[in-house]
Structures are given as C-alpha cells and as structure tokens.
Amino acid sequence: MRKFLRHPSDMPVELVLRKQPNVPRQRLHNISLGGVACNSSRGFRRGTSVEMRIPLLGEHARYPGVIAWCRRQTEGYLVGIAFTDEDTLFRARMVEQVCQIEHYRHLLEKSHGTPVAIEHCAREWIAQHAAEFPQMS
C-alpha cells in the first residue's frame, strides 16, 4: 500500500497543472510509489498531472506527480500526490524531511521565545524522528 507523507501546513505548497495527459484510473492503481499529502484550496481529479512546488525552498523545489486522491475538508482539500519515478520520490522525500525539520524549528522557537539554530534542530529531529519517518516504497 502507498504511504503519503503529511506535508507541514505552515510551509505552503503550490499545485500547478502540467500539460501532460492525465493518468488513466486503471494505471493509477498500479503506481506503487508513495507520495505527499498536502492542503489545497481547490480540488483535483484523480489522475491529474501536477507539479508540486514549495516556494519557501526556492525555485528548484519542484516535483512532478499525479493526483492519487483528493478529500474535501472543512476548509479546502487534502490532496495526495503520487510520484511515479524513484528519483522524484527520493528528492521529494528528502525535501519533506527538511520541511519537517523546519516545522520543528518553528515549534521550538515559539516555545523558547528565541531563535534556534537549524543545525541543532536537524540533529534533534533526526535523533527523535528519523527512525519513524515513513518509508515510501
């Protein structure tokens, strides 16, 4: 079964339609790689080709994928983006770890009331959470 990492809501993403044809539903069922779940202000059809962008991480944080599922929430949608090749999956997973560490840093700064070095947060987060960070395969 696919596993979708939950992207932190305090690091906004953009989902941009790609000009590639949509993936047929029967083929989408066969995509065995995992993906990322994120919030969206709009809904998407299953199989729609998109590019997930994370603006806070710069111009190179772009990951092509396919909408695997879309669930309506009280405000907006929760969208699952499946990555269809191992290179994109690996890159997206590494970026999601960076996002989780940055989210952790924000929480620490809020609780301590002072800035916290990202290196310190990374070491602490890895020690506490890396083993439980889901494998997407």
CATH number at residue 8: 2.40.10
The two beta strands, 62-72 and 77-82, are: antiparallel
What is the residue-level pLDDT of the chain in tens, covering all 137 positions?
357 778 888 888 899 998 876 665 555 554 556 788 899 999 999 889 999 998 888 888 898 989 989 999 999 999 999 887 777 777 777 787 888 888 889 999 999 899 999 898 889 888 887 776 655 44
Does residue 137 lie in a domain region? no
The arrangement of strands across the sheet holding 4-6 comes to 4-6, 35-40, 77-82, 62-72, 49-53, 14-17
pTM above 0.85, yes or no: no
User: Secondary structure of the chain: what % helix, strand, coil (to 5)?
Assistant: 35, 25, 40
Residue type, 3: K
pLDDT of residue 113: 93
Mean of the per-residue pLDDT values of the chain: 82
Does residue 80 lie in a domain region? yes
User: Residue 68 in contact with residue 31, Cβ under 8 Å?
Assistant: yes
Please tell me the total count of domains within the chain: 1
Domain of residue 61 covers: 4-132
Does residue 115 lie in a domain region? yes
